[in-house]
Structure 1
């Protein structure tokens, strides 16, 4: 992969979407009452050794098993899925949970392919455990794991079934844009900050290449899945669009000839199918009532040959639709944005710096108030928009500030600044035609070029 120039890399550090969890130290999970716990290790992608725990009821009778694949974050410890593992095991399944890799998984780099290889290593290990029927072992994936688990299943016939929880059949970038827009809407924000500012900011991160797996082809993967699939969503999911994803899953599976899927939805359940007391903002300790029973019963059925046939009831409603986020066209992509950024930094800074240098030398140019205003407002609009959008990324939608007619006050001030820049551009053009001396024409001409580019740039980012 070609590396972006240094400036793009620096931009990407600021453009990347919410940080994944820090690497956490995993460790053995003690056996809860009525269950056995067996510590295991296995080889994941690249020869990496991963460690986990198998929880199951006592006894040697062969039983179905499931490997749990967690959501985003480097080094997520197996304890994170302990509640699910215990509840599934108490209903008769053998469950393997493991510490997620941190090697090769960073803020800016992750590979669903590598994570799928890790999951298949766990499947091989669980299939070899005493008391587990190797023909009845499947994978379960939560959130990011909802992209990983189907990919693992598409690669191996050893996987008997697939379960996705809060899963997406859309690209990670499209899902993340919806997630961020939802946070802003819950804060009362409306208008161009959501529709253009944040939307295009996220797309630029994907273009630069440091929004990992931004355009992962989830539907292409699902079309290659031949195993029965259970999809489960909570109606209070604030991270994954619960209304749009089930039809996308069904369409992709049918395209590959697979009609053996079941979709279910749970009231007052969050992204991970835990009960939530406040509409999804807070996760409760307990799983949604009936969820663990559904998983255990569905696994028993499909591993006994009783396959579902396109069982997909109407999904719950979501507050607002997603927006398709394809890779940017050439005129809006990383190179166009880099060109605009360099032009603005050079042109808007050159005008006042040149004036300062002349003053230091004792030479005075012709005062041009419009040009000075254009340089100041253009620079403020460009830098201000960039850093404000960055603050929203780091604050995850909580740094909006006071609202004025559904727009954060900082965004309103940036929009006013952009309008002033346009007015100053017109004034500078009129002044150029009448009275700009020959010696001023180079720096004023460069300023006019930057101002002319600033207008469509500001429209694109929602400042105009």
Structure 2
């Protein structure tokens, strides 16, 4: 009997020891630190600051909205990279302060449509730097990247500075987090930059440099957005990957957008001028190796990059994604042919409209007699109406084609530019892209680059125009999600290719 009691006691002891070990294992999970450059800010203007009084020595200073709105209308947010198990505690830590006392909401929660929250808290910020914490327990299994730590700033009327953060899964361990912050050295240094282009045009952006222990200068990639009012930071996952490989990045707001001055006129000629100004600015920076500058662009940016490199033999590499290729006028007319087909116009009607459109675009060039321009416009309207388009709509189409951006696209000749690029070139096209179809463009890119000894042209399966990650919805249908250039395979391909070409 006594031996049975001893055995039972031993079993209870072992069970208790096992529970303690499990608890210790959970609480021993190291906190993951989030550097300032990993915050994504939306809905408000912000600057990067050097802050010697906060861990890591850097912070983001977020300006209040012109008119305070809902708390979530502007925010600083960062995704939680790990999967979270049901019943697991999740704790977020963030360094913050405000110019004036402020109460702000902080959440750990998922995205739409449900916005399920693991934790919510209201922080009372003051002018001194403080480390704040928010903690909660997951009620269900949550996939990696599905939850974010978010500092909501839309309702505040004062400047809020946000420093580094930490994420911890398992039992909360404040001392371990403070020890981690005490030895924190961020892997990148983000700094706001401004550089001049045309008279009256100053471009604003962010230069991110690897935080090297040595004084070695870094190679850098200029990131060029597609058509439209592109802002800095549109390729966040690509920037993160390049910086991890020791490659700096520069992204900037297009002229007239965000904090860049001037008027937003999205012509290829002006975008090329601005990219040339970006390269000149980088060559004057002490932390940048001016002999190892690469250009990367998506869509319109994939036309701008090669044009800059064709005129600058010192460019080290060019990456173009979903970039239209063709001789002068061809990309514009090919795109117009696709759009007319989507309007269910007959092939005969399209064959009549396209030449009329070409004559009208040519007639818009400087020096054309007004009577010639008027006759070309009328001919185009008649071609549209003959295809069954109402006269008012036909006149609207003609007026739309007078836009300077379309005139710039019509004159573009990327197929004539690519043969003049002497730098290594990587050209990617998405098989599922309906904006710049791989059919035609893929072969034309190969032909244009056939004399380049280091040119690679690849068609990527499943990819659409933005080269985003592919996830299956509830019906098993592929859904493209995330920021542009976020597909893991594409990220790996681009990063490895650039790393090899930008070696010292």
Distance 2:340 2:481 in 1: 20
Distance 1:228 1:292 in 2: 18
Q: Which residue of 2 aligns with 1:63?
A: 218
Residues 304/229 of structure 1: CA separation in 2 closer, same or farther (3 Å cut): same
Q: Which residue of 1 aligns with 2:137?
A: none
Aligned partner (choices 362, 365, 372) of residue 207 of structure 1? 362
Cα deviation for residue 94 of structure 1 reads 0.5
Distance 1:25 1:148 in 2: 29
Distance 1:77 1:170 in 2: 27
Contact 1:173 1:202 in 2 (8 A): no
Is 1:229 paired with 2:425? yes
SS of residue paired to 1:295: helix
Contact 1:26 1:99 in 2 (8 A): no
Contact 1:66 1:94 in 2 (8 A): yes
Aligned partner (choices 76, 86, 91) of residue 230 of structure 2? 76
Q: Which residue of 2 aligns with 1:220?
A: 416
Cα deviation for residue 89 of structure 1 reads 2.4
Q: Which residue of 1 aligns with 2:468?
A: 274
Aligned partner (choices 242, 266, 271) of residue 88 of structure 1? 242
Contact 2:468 2:480 in 1 (8 A): no
Superposed CA offset, 1:32-71 (max 9, x none) = 8743211111121346211110123321433321001111
Superposed CA offset, 1:328-347 (max 9, x none) = xxxxxxxxxxxxxxxxxxxx
How many residues get paired?
A: 275
Distance 1:181 1:56 in 2: 44
Contact 1:238 1:280 in 2 (8 A): no
* Structure 2 unaligned regions, length at least 5: 1-42, 49-58, 61-77, 79-163, 165-186, 257-261, 365-401
> What TM-score, normalized to structure 2?
0.48
Distance 1:172 1:77 in 2: 28
- Correspondence list, 1:88-107, <5 A: 88-102=242-256, 103=262, 105-106=264-265
Contact 1:50 1:100 in 2 (8 A): yes
Contact 2:321 2:427 in 1 (8 A): yes
Cα deviation for residue 122 of structure 1 reads 1.1
> What TM-score, normalized to structure 1?
0.52
Distance 2:482 2:340 in 1: 23
Is 1:250 paired with 2:405? no
Cα deviation for residue 144 of structure 1 reads 0.9
Higher relative contact order (CA 8 A, sep 6+): 1
Distance 1:81 1:26 in 2: 18
Distance 1:222 1:27 in 2: 37
Distance 1:67 1:299 in 2: 12
Distance 2:333 2:481 in 1: 22
Structure with higher helix content? 1
Contact 1:116 1:152 in 2 (8 A): yes
Q: Which residue of 2 aligns with 1:44?
A: 197
Residues 220/180 of structure 1: CA separation in 2 closer, same or farther (3 Å cut): closer
Is 1:116 paired with 2:272? yes
Superposed CA offset, 1:217-254 (max 9, x none) = 22222222111111111111111121322322232234
Relative to structure 2, which stretch is displaced further, 43-52 or 161-170? 43-52
SS of residue paired to 2:486: coil
Residues 205/142 of structure 1: CA separation in 2 closer, same or farther (3 Å cut): farther
Cα deviation for residue 271 of structure 1 reads 1.2
Superposed CA offset, 1:262-294 (max 9, x none) = 122322222121135599995544712222222
- Correspondence list, 1:243-322, <5 A: 243-254=439-450, 257-276=451-470, 283-285=481-483, 287-304=486-503
Superposed CA offset, 1:367-411 (max 9, x none) = xxxxxxxxxxxxxxxxxxxxxxxxxxxxxxxxxxxxxxxxxxxxx
SS of residue paired to 2:219: strand
Distance 2:479 2:350 in 1: 23
Superposed CA offset, 1:163-187 (max 9, x none) = 1111122258533444455456568
Residues 199/289 of structure 1: CA separation in 2 closer, same or farther (3 Å cut): farther
Structure with higher strand content? 2
Residues 83/303 of structure 1: CA separation in 2 closer, same or farther (3 Å cut): closer
Distance 1:25 1:117 in 2: 28
Contact 2:222 2:278 in 1 (8 A): yes
Contact 1:277 1:284 in 2 (8 A): no
